[in-house]
A = this chain, B = another copy of it.
Amino acid sequence: MKLIKKVNILIVGLGLLGGSYAKGLKKMGFEVSAITKDKESIDYALKQNIIDLGTTEIDAEIIGKADLVIFALYPHIFTEWIKNNQQYFKSGAILTDVTGVKGNIVYKIQDILREDVEFIAAHPMAGKEVSGVENSDDAIFKGANYIVVPTEKNTPEAIELCKNLGELLGFKQVVELSVSEHDEMIAFLSQLTHCIAVSLMCCNDNEGLEKYTGDSFRDLTRIARINDEMWSELFLSNKEALLNEMDKFKKSFDEMYDIIKNDNRDALRGMMKTSTIRREGFDKK
């Protein structure tokens, strides 16, 4: 299968990400349908011409004609959905997803999936602090990374198709990672940072501090506005890798604490020099 215009695409879960996929794909001329639980989301998406067809039901006909199915659901709902409805897939259909953790999902889905259908996992590293199809916007893909996460069960054709999808949607970079590489990277770059932001926001009631707040505190806590249902599931689905990264951070923070406590100026400057050099590496892009 190639991603040409006559490919029929079904999006399951029409929230911020599902909606943004729909917008981008519809603009390019694909036929896009959607299944999601809220009637309002379907009504909105039809009215805004983001999708061609939509329903809140498990519609055998809509599912059966999809060549490519994109799942934008919470992890546990995703697994359940496959268990309950995979009989409706067209033979040869390709499934992909947007789930932010992989180890806990990919093998499970691939194990239970019909032999004549293939699931190739992907993680679009894009988002917003707000949710819902009303906030969807395919511009969020522009500067972002799209990670394809194949296993040994995947065919080169499906991997290629999944990469094409990321390129078509306008991601800045499309890369391939193994399941464990992906989950480790996500634990550090994304989940640990959210843990820190939430902890920082929780450690002080901030009464009256708003009026003194400068950019530093605002930058560190921007992501502390968080979808608790989704992120708690992502954290717990990637628990082992996340705790490992939290341990590393705790060690580093404790080291700084002791250094300050002991008035060890040289060691303090040493940590600051390391952080300055490393951070510069993130500026050169």
Contact = CB atoms under 8 A, between A and B. Distances in A.
Interface of A: 125-126, 144-145, 147, 173, 175, 185, 188-190, 192-206, 209-214, 216-226, 228-229, 231-233, 235-236, 239, 242-243, 245-246, 248-257, 260-261, 263, 265, 268-269, 271-276, 278-283, 285
A269 B229 contact: yes
Contact of A252 (B193, B199, B283): B199
A276 B198 CA distance: 8
9 contacts: A189-B212, A195-B256, A196-B253, A204-B248, A206-B278, A225-B279, A228-B269, A235-B268, A236-B260
Contacts of A216: 189-190, 193-194, 197, 223
B226 A275 contact: yes
Nearest to A214: B125
User: Looking at chain A's contact residues, is the secondary structure mostly helix, strand, loop, or mixed?
Assistant: helix
A116 B256 CA distance: 43
Given A210-B281, A219-B220, A282-B210, A197 B275 contact: yes
Given A193-B216, A202-B252, A202-B255, 19 more contacts: A145-B211, A175-B211, A193-B220, A202-B274, A203-B251, A203-B252, A206-B281, A210-B285, A217-B282, A218-B282, A220-B223, A228-B273, A229-B269, A233-B265, A243-B257, A243-B260, A243-B261, A246-B260, A250-B253
A130 to B, nearest CB: 11
Contacts of A209: 185, 188-189
**How many copies make up the complex?**
2
A243 B253 CA distance: 11
Given A197-B220, A228-B272, A269-B229, A188 B204 contact: yes
A280 B225 contact: yes
Nearest to A265: B232
B203 A190 contact: no
A261 B239 CA distance: 7
A237 B285 CA distance: 36
